[in-house]
C-alpha cells in the first residue's frame, strides 16, 4: 500500500513540476528581496524587476507575444539585463494560478508586476492593496480600480481593425468576408467592430459574417469556423486572439486572404496574409516606467493608438497589394490619426 | 444572405461535423476499450496533447507524415503503459492517476514545444483524399468521401471496435474483466494482461486523436491545443453507453450541433453567441440525462483487481 501511494504521489509531483516548467516558468533567479528605494532607481544599482503573467505563450503570435516583445524592446532601450530583469509566467489560463503567481512576484519584491489579461482583474484588485510599494499593470482595460498602484492599459484595436477592413473590402471578390472571434469582449470585440465598420465604409454592399467561438484556446473550433466562412462564400478572413492559428491554415488551404491583429501572423501563411495590425506596448510601458521612477506607482490608464505609435500597420512584403488599395489604407490611417475618421465602436 | 436550408448550409454543417467528430472518435473509442475492461482513464487529454506534439514535431522535422503518425501512436502507447502500471500493478485510484497523466501530458507537451519548436509553426498535413467513385455521389460524396485519411480511419474504427468487443474472444475477455474480474480470473483470463492491452490500446488511439488534429485537420501545434477535448471524449463514452455505435452517435451529435451553431452565427440567426456556443454542451447533457439511466456501467469500472482477495 505504501509503495502504491508513494508512486501516485511521485507521478503527480512529476506532472506538476513539468506543467510548472512548461506553463508557468517559475522565477529562476529569485534574488534576496530588497526594499525598493526610489532614489537609487536612477543609479540602477539594482536592476528594475518586471514580472509578467500571461494567459498564453510568449510565442503565440498574438496577445501574449505582443507584450513580451515590447518588454524586450524596452529592456534593450534601458540597457539590457543589467538595467531591467524580466521574469514571466506563461500559459496561465487558470485564473487562480495566475493570482498565486501575481502575489508571489509582488512579495518577492518585483518593481512592476504585469497581469496581462482582463480575466486577472478581480485577483489584482484583491492583491494590489497588500503591496503598496509594488506597481501593478493590467490590461486590456482602462480600469485602475482607483488604486494608486495599478496602471491600466488598453489597445484601440478598432483603429487598425478599420484599416484592415478597408483593405479587406477592397480585395474581396465574392463580397463576403468572414471573421473568427473568441469571446465578444475586450480588444477582440473592438477589433471586430472596427473591421466591420471599415469594410462597410469601403463597400456598403459587403457581407461581413462574424463568428464568436466562445474560446481563446479552441484551435479546432476556430479552424472549423473558418471553414464555415469559406463554405458561405468568404474569400477574405480575419480573426483575433491566439486560437486563430487554426483559422489561418484554413485560409491558406482555400486561397482565402487573411488579415491578422495583435502580432504579425505573416510567418504562418506567407502566401495569403495581407496585413496585420501589430500592438507595440512599449509606448505605454515607457510612460509607466517614467512614472514609477518618479515614485508614482499607478493610477493612470494608457491606450495604444495609431496616433501614438502603439498600433502599427504591418504589411506582408510577399503579398502584392494594389497601389490604390494601399493608398486607401494609408488614407484611413491618416484619417483616424487626424480625427476625420471616427471609428464607431458602440 | 445564404438561405438557411440551402444545400450549401446542410452540406457545410455535415462536412464540418464529420471533421470535428474525428478526434473525439479516436479518443472515445480508445477510452471505451479501457472502460469496458474496468479502467477509467482521465488522462486522455494529456495523451492527445503529447501525441499531437510528437506527430507534429516528427512530421515537421522529417517531412514524413506517416512517421509522425507512428510517433504519436508510440507516445500514446507509452503513456498508456504508464497508466496501466499505476492502475493495474499498483492498484492506484484511477481518477487521480488519470488526472496525473493528464497534467504530465499537458506540461510535457508545452515544455517540449518550447524547447524544440519555440514558436507556432505549420506543416503540410494529410491532404484531402477523395475516395474513388464514392466521392462522386452527389451530396453524400462531398460530405463523407472528400476528407483526409485520418477522418476515414476514425469512422472505420467504429465497426472494428464493435466487432472486436462483441464478436471475438478478446472482446468477451475484455467485457468479462470489466464486469466480473474475479470470475474471469477463475476461468483463467489474466485480468492484468487484458487491462494492460486495453489501456495501451486506448493510449495509442488517443495519440492518433492528437495526430489527427496536429497533422491532418489543423496542421499546427499550439500549447493546450486540445483545450479539454479529451475530457469530452471521456464523457462521450458514458453518453454512448460503453458501446462503439453509441459513442459514434454521441460524437456526431456533439460535433453536428457545434458546426450548426457556427452556421447559425454566419447566417445571422439572432441568438447571442454565448448561447450558441453553449448549445452542444446543453444538448449533450440533456441526451445524457435522458438515456443514461437505462444502461449500466461496467460493474468493475474504477475498481482495482487484486488476485489476493
Residue range A262-294, pLDDT digits in tens: 999 999 999 999 999 999 999 999 999 999 999
Percent of chain A at pLDDT > 90 equals 73
Distance CA(B299)–CA(B296), nearest Å, equals 8
Q: From B114, which residue of chain A is nearest by alpha-carbon distance?
A: A22
Strands A207-212 and A176-181: parallel
Lowest mean pLDDT among A91-100, B65-74, B93-102, B204-213: A91-100
Are A287 and A318 contacting, i.e. CB atoms less than 8 angstroms apart? no
Chains A–B, number of C-beta pairs less than 8 Å apart: 178
Residues B181-203 as b/e (b if ≥16 CB within 10 A, e otherwise) read: beebbeeebebbebbbbbbbbbb
> Which chain B residues contact residue A211 at CB under 8 A?
262, 265-266, 273
Name the most confidently modeled range: A11-20, A61-70, A185-194, B62-71. B62-71
ipTM: 0.88
Q: From B263, which residue of chain A is nearest by alpha-carbon distance?
A: A228
Give the pLDDT score at A17: 52
Domain boundaries, chain A: 45-156+281-304, 157-279+311-338
- Cβ separation A59–B12 shorter than 8 A: no
Are A276 and A128 contacting, i.e. CB atoms less than 8 angstroms apart? no
Q: Which helix (H) or strand (E) holds B152?
A: helix B149-167
Distance CA(A338)–CA(A35), nearest Å, equals 45
Residue A307, judged by CB atoms within 10 A of its CB (0-12, 13-18, 19+), counts as: middle
**A235-261 pLDDT tens trace:** 999 999 889 999 999 999 999 999 999
Fold (topology level) of A157-279+311-338: Rossmann fold (3.40.50)
Structural domain count, chain B: 1
CB-based contact, B16 to chain A, within 8 Å: yes
- Classify residue B190: in a domain, yes or no: yes
Give the pLDDT score at A64: 92
**A28-84 pLDDT tens trace:** 344 444 444 444 444 456 899 999 999 888 888 889 999 999 999 999 999 898 999
- Cβ separation A7–B106 shorter than 8 A: no
Which residue, among B11, B41, B99, B114, would best test binding to A if mutated, counting the most A CBs under 10 Å from its CB? B114
Q: Which helix (H) or strand (E) holds B280?
A: helix B273-292
Which residue, among B222, B254, B259, would best test binding to A if mutated, counting the most A CBs under 10 Å from its CB? B222
- Cβ separation B262–A228 shorter than 8 A: yes
pLDDT(A8) > 60: no
Q: Which three cell numbers stand for residue B84?
A: 496501466
CB-based contact, B116 to chain A, within 8 Å: no
- Classify residue B97: in a domain, yes or no: yes
- Classify residue B249: in a domain, yes or no: no
Three-class DSSP category at B112: helix
- Classify residue B7: in a domain, yes or no: no
- Which CATH architecture describes the domain A45-156+281-304? 3-Layer(aba) Sandwich (3.40)
Of the candidates B28, B23, B51, B24, the one whose C-alpha atom is nearest the C-alpha of residue B161 is: B28
Residues 6+ apart with CB under 8 A from B256: B13, B14, B17, B21
Secondary structure percentages of chain A, helix, strand, coil, to 5: 45, 20, 35
Residues spanned by the domain of B136: 23-237
- Cβ separation A11–B97 shorter than 8 A: yes
Q: Minimal Cα–Cα distance from B290 to chain A, Å?
A: 26
Distance CA(B300)–CA(B184), nearest Å, equals 12
**B14-28 pLDDT tens trace:** 999 999 999 999 999
Residues A148-185 as b/e (b if ≥16 CB within 10 A, e otherwise) read: ebbbbbbbbbbbbbbbbbbbbbbbbeeebbbbbbbbee
> Which chain A residues contact residue B100 at CB under 8 A?
8, 11-12, 15
- Classify residue B148: in a domain, yes or no: yes
Are A147 and A134 contacting, i.e. CB atoms less than 8 angstroms apart? no
Phi/psi for A274 (5° steps) reads -95, -55
CB-based contact, B168 to chain A, within 8 Å: no
- Classify residue B284: in a domain, yes or no: no
Q: From B210, which residue of chain A is nearest by alpha-carbon distance?
A: A220
Give the pLDDT score at A35: 46
Give the pLDDT score at A9: 58
* Sequence-ordered alpha helix ranges (H) in chain A: 2-22, 38-41, 63-78, 95-107, 121-127, 157-171, 186-202, 219-231, 245-253, 282-293, 323-338
* Nearest-CB residue to B262 (from A22, A211, A268): A211
Q: Which three cell numbers stand for residue A129?
A: 492593496
- Classify residue B32: in a domain, yes or no: yes
* Sequence-ordered alpha helix ranges (H) in A172-244: 186-202, 219-231
Amino acid at each position: 500500500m505504501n509503495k502504491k501511494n508513494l508512486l501516485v504521489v511521485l507521478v503527480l509531483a512529476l506532472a506538476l513540476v513539468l506543467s510548472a516548467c512548461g506553463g508557468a516558468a517559475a522565477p529562476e533567479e529569485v534574488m534576496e528581496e530588497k526594499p525598493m528605494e526610489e532614489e537609487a532607481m536612477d543609479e540602477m544599482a539594482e536592476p528594475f524587476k518586471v514580472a509578467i503573467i500571461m494567459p498564453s505563450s510568449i510565442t503565440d503570435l498574438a496577445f501574449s507575444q505582443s507584450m513580451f516583445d515590447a518588454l524586450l524592446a524596452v529592456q534593450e532601450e534601458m540597457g539590457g539585463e543589467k538595467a531591467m530583469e524580466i521574469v514571466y509566467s506563461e500559459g496561465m489560463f487558470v485564473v487562480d494560478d495566475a493570482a498565486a503567481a501575481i502575489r508571489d512576484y509582488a512579495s518577492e519584491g518585483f518593481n512592476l508586476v504585469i497581469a496581462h489579461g482582463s480575466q486577472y482583474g478581480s485577483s489584482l484588485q484583491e492583491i494590489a492593496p497588500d503591496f503598496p510599494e509594488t506597481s501593478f499593470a493590467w490590461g486590456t482595460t482602462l480600469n485602475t480600480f482607483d488604486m494608486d498602484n495599478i496602471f491600466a492599459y488598453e489597445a484601440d484595436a478598432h483603429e487598425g481593425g478599420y484599416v484592415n477592413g478597408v483593405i479587406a473590402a477592397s480585395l474581396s471578390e465574392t463580397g463576403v468576408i468572414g471573421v473568427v472571434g473568441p469571446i465578444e469582449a475586450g480588444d477582440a470585440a473592438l477589433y471586430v467592430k472596427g473591421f466591420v465598420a471599415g469594410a462597410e465604409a469601403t463597400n456598403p454592399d459587403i457581407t461581413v459574417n462574424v463568428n464568436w467561438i466562445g474560446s481563446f484556446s479552441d484551435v479546432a473550433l476556430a479552424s472549423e469556423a473558418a471553414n464555415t466562412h469559406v463554405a458561405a462564400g468568404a474569400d477574405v478572413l480575419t480573426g483575433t486572439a491566439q486560437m486563430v492559428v487554426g483559422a489561418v491554415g484554413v485560409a491558406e488551404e482555400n486561397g482565402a486572404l487573411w488579415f491578422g491583429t495583435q502580432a504579425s501572423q505573416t510567418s504562418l501563411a506567407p502566401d495569403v496574409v495581407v496585413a496585420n495590425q501589430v500592438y507595440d506596448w512599449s509606448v505605454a510601458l515607457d510612460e509607466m516606467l517614467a512614472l514609477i521612477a518618479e515614485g508614482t506607482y499607478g493610477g493612470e490608464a494608457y491606450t495604444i493608438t495609431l496616433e501614438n505609435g502603439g498600433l502599427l500597420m504591418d504589411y506582408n512584403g510577399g503579398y502584392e497589394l494594389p497601389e490604390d488599395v494601399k493608398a486607401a489604407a494609408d488614407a484611413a490611417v491618416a484619417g483616424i490619426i487626424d480625427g476625420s475618421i471616427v471609428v464607431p465602436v458602440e | 444572405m445564404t438561405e438557411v436550408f440551402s444545400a450549401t448550409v446542410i452540406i457545410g454543417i455535415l462536412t464540418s461535423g464529420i471533421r470535428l467528430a474525428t478526434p473525439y472518435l479516436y479518443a472515445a473509442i480508445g477510452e471505451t476499450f479501457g472502460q469496458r475492461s474496468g479502467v477509467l482513464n482521465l488522462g486522455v487529454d494529456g495523451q492527445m496533447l503529447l501525441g499531437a506534439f510528437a506527430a507534429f514535431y516528427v512530421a515537421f522535422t522529417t517531412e514524413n507524415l506517416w512517421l509522425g503518425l507512428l510517433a504519436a501512436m508510440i507516445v500514446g502507447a507509452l503513456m498508456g503503459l504508464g497508466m496501466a502500471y499505476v492502475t493495474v500493478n499498483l492498484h492506484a485510484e484511477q481518477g487521480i492517476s488519470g488526472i496525473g497523466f493528464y497534467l504530465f501530458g499537458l506540461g510535457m507537451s508545452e515544455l517540449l514545444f518550447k524547447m524544440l519548436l519555440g514558436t507556432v509553426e505549420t506543416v503540410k498535413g494529410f491532404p484531402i483524399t477523395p475516395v474513388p467513385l464514392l466521392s462522386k455521389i452527389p451530396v453524400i460524396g462531398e460530405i463523407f468521401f472528400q476528407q483526409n485519411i485520418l477522418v476515414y480511419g476514425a469512422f472505420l474504427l467504429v465497426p472494428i471496435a464493435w466487432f472486436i468487443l462483441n464478436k471475438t474472444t478478446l472482446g468477451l475477455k475484455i467485457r468479462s474483466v470489466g464486469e466480473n474480474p474475479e470470475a474471469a480470473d477463475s476461468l483463467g483470463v489474466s485480468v492484468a494482461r487484458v487491462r494492460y492491452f486495453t489501456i495501451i490500446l486506448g493510449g495509442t488511439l488517443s495519440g492518433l486523436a492528437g495526430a489527427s488534429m496536429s497533422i491532418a485537420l489543423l496542421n499546427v501545434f499550439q500549447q493546450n491545443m486540445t483545450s479539454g477535448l479529451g475530457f469530452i471524449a471521456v464523457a462521450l463514452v458514458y453518453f454512448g453507453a460503453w458501446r462503439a455505435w453509441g459513442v459514434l452517435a454521441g460524437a456526431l451529435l456533439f460535433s453536428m450541433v457545434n458546426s450548426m451553431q457556427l452556421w447559425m452565427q454566419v447566417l445571422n440567426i439572432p441568438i447571442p453567441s454565448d448561447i450558441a456556443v453553449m448549445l452542444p454542451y446543453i444538448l449533450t447533457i440533456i441526451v445524457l440525462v435522458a438515456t443514461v439511466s437505462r444502461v449500466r456501467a461496467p460493474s468493475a469500472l474504477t475498481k482495482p483487481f487484486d488476485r489476493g482477495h
